[in-house]
Amino acid sequence: MDTQDIKNRFGIIGNSPLLNRAIDVARQVAPTDISVLITGESGSGKEVFSHIIHQLSSRKHGPFIAVNCGAIPEGTIDSELFGHEKGSFTGAHEARKGYFEVVNGGTIFLDEVGELPLGTQARLLRILETGEYIRVGSSKVQKTNVRVVAATNVDIYNAVQKGKFREDLYYRLNTVPLRTPALRDRKEDIHLLFRKFIADFTDKYRSPNVQLTADAQQLLANYPWPGNVRQLKNIAEQIAVLEKERLIDAQILQQYLPYDNRSNLPVHVTSKGTDDFSERDLLYKVLFDMKKDMVELKKLVVEIVQNGVNSRIMEDNSPYINQLYREVDNTTPEQLATPPQLTIHRPPTSGPSEDFHFHTQEAEEVEEESLSLVEKESDLIRKALKKHKGKRKSAAQELGISERTLYRKIKDLNLN
């Protein structure tokens, strides 16, 4: 069977040298019983290759099981893989065969093999070297004849260096390494794959065919595809189902490509750039509105501090403030109003524009005054002490605090 036959049979799309090389390795190693370690990013076809290896081997009529080592809890993985005896742990009501026993004569695909705990790694090494294993809770050595194809999408050699993966097992599994190339390393295949997937999905959903403009093709080729073929397939499906436009340009395509920050590639600059601008305009508008609200609120706070709540509400009856009160709670301004604390000195206001000037000016004046609580507090304490000629008891009384608190504050605020 040549490379093209394998592609046809297993639905592999692409002509890049890296892909052809991976298929070559699979074809050559398949008829042997050698363990294979498939490495490659998520969605790059590791599982597809494990099937190719099994199907092109003499075990093709035997069983094939794919086990995701990362998905099985650490406490049960030995039992899942190697089986257990009745009563070997709480809940082991029956004896159970493990996958290595069930798959005798076939192939086991150990996906995410880097996730295996160290104890399980030792058991796996023994099976690979001698075909021997022991069920959990048993002392009887059993034999099995299983071909192991393992896969990982992490840098497993890094795990070896950190002591998380046994070095001897790594070399044993990695007798023949097979690397599934990332999509971004075979850009020439991307459009081909996209067309194939679009054809499949438009067929499936009975939607009209989709074409890409030249700039969309370029965007497709330059996107980093962190989820590789699986991601490309998903996006083709979304477009086939959701997109109304049948001639897709880069701007439309961009909406389907999630932003990926590990690359400088996916940002697409259109000649018109209308979308970018409207989004930026919107943000500016939001910020501008917020600033306007802030100015209004500042004015209001300053006014209340200066004149007391009553003055501002009763005299001015500004719709803005009344609305604010209604928004804050349903209490009416009249209910909230308290007698003015300070004498009101306000120039007469005749119209809204003058009113506005007056408030901004006032706001500016007051902003220059310090609003620091510490300073205000020190100030008040000094005044109270002066008024009571240094008598702390009376000063504390006037300030509405205990004498002890006043002592502490004098000390803390360094008022001696």
Q: Is 181 in the site for ligand ATP (CB under 6 A)?
A: no
Cβ closest to ligand ATP, residue 45 vs residue 98: 45
Q: Is 199 in the site for ligand ATP (CB under 6 A)?
A: no
CA 362, CA 300: separation in Å to the nearest integer? 11
Query: Which residues, including other chains, have CB under 8 Å from residue 22's CB and lie 6 or more apart?
Result: 45, 49, 178, 179, 180, 181
Q: What residue has token string 């004015």? A: 299
Residues 237-276 that bind ligand ATP (CB under 6 A): none
CA nearest 200: which of 233, 231, 248, 232? 233
Query: Which residues, including other chains, have CB under 8 Å from residue 318's CB and lie 6 or more apart?
Result: 312
CA 220, CA 18: separation in Å to the nearest integer? 19
Q: Is 186 in the site for ligand ATP (CB under 6 A)?
A: no
The structure tokens listed for 196 are 């194939």
Query: Which residues, including other chains, have CB under 8 Å from residue 353's CB and lie 6 or more apart?
Result: none
Q: Is 45 in the site for ligand ATP (CB under 6 A)?
A: yes
Binding mask 12-41 for ligand ATP (x = CB under 6 A): xxx-------------------------x-
Residues 96-155 that bind ligand ATP (CB under 6 A): 153
Stretch that binds Mg ion, among 40-48, 71-79, 285-293, 325-333 (CB under 5 A): 40-48
Calculate Rg over the CA atoms of the chain.
38
Among 43, 83, 98, 106, binds ligand ATP (CB under 6 A): 43
- Rounded to 5°, the CA angle 317-321-325 comes to 115
Q: If contact means CB under 5 to 8 A according to the sort of partner, which of Mg ion, ligand ATP, none does residue 39 touch?
A: none
Q: What is the nearest approach in angstroms of ligand ATP to the Cβ of residue 9?
A: 12
CA 339, CA 105: separation in Å to the nearest integer? 93
Q: What is the nearest approach in angstroms of Mg ion to the Cβ of residue 69?
A: 11
- Rounded to 5°, the CA angle 171-174-178 comes to 160
Q: If contact means CB under 5 to 8 A according to the sort of partner, which of ligand ATP, Mg ion, none does residue 45 touch?
A: ligand ATP
Size of the site for ligand ATP (CB under 6 A): 17
Q: What residue has token string 């050699």? A: 157
Q: What is the nearest approach in angstroms of ligand ATP to the Cβ of residue 68?
A: 8
Q: Is 185 in the site for ligand ATP (CB under 6 A)?
A: no
Q: Is 233 in the site for ligand ATP (CB under 6 A)?
A: yes
Q: If contact means CB under 5 to 8 A according to the sort of partner, which of Mg ion, ligand ATP, none does residue 307 touch?
A: none
Q: What is the 3-state secondary structure (H, E, C) of 234-257?
A: HHHHHHHHHCCCCEECHHHHHCCC
Stretch that binds Mg ion, among 43-51, 178-186, 308-316, 369-377 (CB under 5 A): 43-51
Q: What is the nearest approach in angstroms of ligand ATP to the Cβ of residue 4?
A: 13
Q: What residue has token string 């009209």? A: 208
Q: If contact means CB under 5 to 8 A according to the sort of partner, which of ligand ATP, Mg ion, none does residue 352 touch?
A: none
Stretch that binds Mg ion, among 42-50, 83-91, 166-174, 271-279 (CB under 5 A): 42-50
Q: What residue has token string 């000195």? A: 345
| SS3 state of residue 176 | strand
Q: Is 221 in the site for ligand ATP (CB under 6 A)?
A: no
Q: Is 47 in the site for Mg ion (CB under 5 A)?
A: yes
Residues 47-76 that bind ligand ATP (CB under 6 A): 47-48
Stretch that binds Mg ion, among 41-49, 183-191, 313-321, 356-364 (CB under 5 A): 41-49
Q: Is 154 in the site for Mg ion (CB under 5 A)?
A: no
CA 7, CA 20: separation in Å to the nearest integer? 9
Cβ closest to ligand ATP, residue 48 vs residue 95: 48
Type of residue at 195: R
State the maximum Cα–Cα separation within the chain, in Å, rounded to a whole number. Answer: 107
Q: Can you spell out the DSSP letters for 19-53?
A: HHHHHHHHHHHTTS---EEEE--TTSSHHHHHHHH
Q: If contact means CB under 5 to 8 A according to the sort of partner, which of Mg ion, ligand ATP, none does residue 96 touch?
A: none
Residues that bind ligand ATP (CB under 6 A): 11-14, 40, 42-48, 153, 180, 229-230, 233
Residues that bind Mg ion (CB under 5 A): 47
